[in-house]
Amino acid sequence: NGSVVIAGAGMAGVQTAVALREQGWTGPVTLLGAEPHQPYDRPPLSKAVLLGKAEDSAFDVDFEGLGITLRLGVEVTGLRPADRELDTEAGPVPYGVLVLATGAEPLTLPGAEGVPGVHLLRTLDDAARLRPVIARAPATVVVGAGWIGAEFATAAREAGCAVTVVEAADRVLAGALPAEVAAAMGRWYGEIGADLLTSARVASVEAGRVLLADGRELPAGAVVVGIGARPATRWLAGSGVELGPDGSVTADAHLRTSVPGVYAVGDCASFPSARYGARLLVHHWDNALQGPRVVAANILAGEPVETYDPVPYFWSEQFGRFVQYAGHHADADTLLWRGDPAGQAWSVCWLRAGAMVAILAVGRPRDLAQGRRLIEAGSTVDPARVADPETPLKAA
């Protein structure tokens, strides 16, 4: 059976199908997606789509012209590798090669599921439900000061909502950035008139209000929960595909899973990075663009010819700022500021053993582009020059 079947029709699934055709795969390609909508891009959901500035964000891909069979509204419920078959609501689907691209699903707030006025923000349907809500400008409580919380708070303020953000950690982006960087970014909430409550725990959510563990009560015409996402891999239980403790499919360096003929890519999969000496689970758009090219190349060759070891990259638009990040700073030994964190534009660079390993750029896209090249090349840099925002970033 020379057919490729892709489970999940989001960015990673669509890009895998497109990359297969671009690279010359002539066999059948089938894309199975649980959602009924034409495949779409998620980043605009917390930005233009939410504010009604864009109607939708469907990918501009001619599936028919590319000979890609698109089966929408079909949820995959199981995998039987011995039979080389997927189970779906619409019956079994045989495959020759299978690509897992089911993405991630948002974590829900215990006790808040099903309470009227409580929303998540992951799908087009979520954004379509939220759009008329924020247009009415209710008092809005955002749970979680991560990337989604920051972007949603920005959009809700723009729509005129009074916004209170409740964060359990003592700072914003606690899982992503060190305290001194997070402190600078936490100040942006106040600038747009959003209240940020850190070290604040939600005790319960009721229709119309949120109660905090310290007894405070927040009026809430709408509640948006943005507390993270986990790989959408529950359907793989018992299939023999190995999953990590974080729920990700533990792909190898060629994005192959533990089951022969089965690959995994995008938000659902982690991979070993030789570059960073760690297994990475990346929940960002660029990973769902780059990974599929490697998967397609390996499928075409019929053997592992390409390795996936990217410098991760993502961006966020929040509080009127363009924030970009490249690299991975977990084992950095030096943090250098480039510019004034109280200003509109600055960067932070992370070094390890004299080489740049990561950069966060706020309103400084040139720093990002230059820094990304240094990180990719593993170049050593002169810390004094790096710390001078007037000097371009270049190798020592």
Least distance (Å) between residue 129 CB and ligand FAD: 13
Distance of closest approach, residue 18 Cβ to ligand FAD, in angstroms = 12
Kindly tell me which of 104 and 351 has the beta carbon lying closer to ligand FAD.
Answer: 104
Residue in the structure block whose two tokens are 């995994």: 264
Closest CB to ligand FAD among residues 376, 388 = 376
Query: Position of tokens 């747009």?
Result: 192
Q: Count the residues in the chain.
A: 396
CB 35, min distance to ligand FAD, A: 4
* Pick 147 or 276: Cβ nearer ligand FAD: 147
- Residue among 219 and 320 whose Cβ is closer to ligand FAD: 320
What's the closest the beta carbon of residue 43 comes to ligand FAD, in angstroms? 4
Cβ nearer to ligand FAD, comparing 46 with 164: 46
Contact residues toward ligand FAD (CB under 6 A) are 7-13, 32-35, 42-43, 45-46, 75-76, 101-104, 121-122, 148, 232, 235, 266-267, 283-286, 288, 314-316
Least distance to ligand FAD from the beta carbon of 391, Å? 28
SS3 label, residue 186? helix
> What are the strands of the beta sheet with 262-264, ordered from one edge?
68-72, 29-33, 4-7, 97-100, 262-264
**Rg, C-alpha atoms of the chain:** 22
Ramachandran area for residue 194 (φ above 0: left; ψ -120 to 50: alpha; else beta): beta
- How many Cα neighbours within 13 Å face the side chain of 227? 18
Instruction: Give CA separation, 58 vs 17, 167, 259, in Å.
Output: 16, 32, 32
Task: Report yes or no: 292 and 16 within 8 Å, Cβ to Cβ.
Answer: yes
State the nearest-atom distance from the C-beta of 72 to ligand FAD, in Å.
9
Least distance CB 229 / ligand FAD (angstroms): 7
What is the biggest distance separating any 2 CA atoms in the chain, rounded to whole angstroms?
A: 63
Which residue type occupies 214? Answer: D
Query: Nearest residue to ligand FAD, using CB?
Result: 10
- The nearer residue to ligand FAD, 31 or 351, going by C-beta atoms, is 31
Give the 3-state DSSP-derived string for 243-305, with helices as H, strands as E and coil as C: ECCCCCEECCCCCECCCCCEEECHHHEEEEECCCCEEEECCCHHHHHHHHHHHHHHHHHCCCC
Identity of the residue numbered 36: P
Q: Report in angstroms how near the CB of residue 366 gets to ligand FAD at its nearest.
A: 19
Residue 131 vs 284, nearer CB to ligand FAD = 284
In the bound state with ligand FAD, the residue whose beta carbon lies nearer, of 102 and 270, is: 102
Sign of torsion over alpha carbons 366, 312, 360, 323:
positive
Task: In angstroms, give the least distance from the CB of 334 to ligand FAD.
Answer: 26
Q: Of 39 and 336, which CB lies nearer to ligand FAD in the complex structure?
A: 39
Separation between Cα atoms, residue 396 and residue 349, nearest integer Å: 15
Tokens standing for residue 376: 């990719």
- What whole-number distance in Å separates Cα of residue 323 and Cα of residue 11? 21
* Comparison of 336 and 368: residue with beta carbon closer to ligand FAD: 368
The CB-of-148 to ligand FAD minimum distance in angstroms stands at 6
3-state SS, residue 89: coil
CB 219 within 8 A of CB 228: no
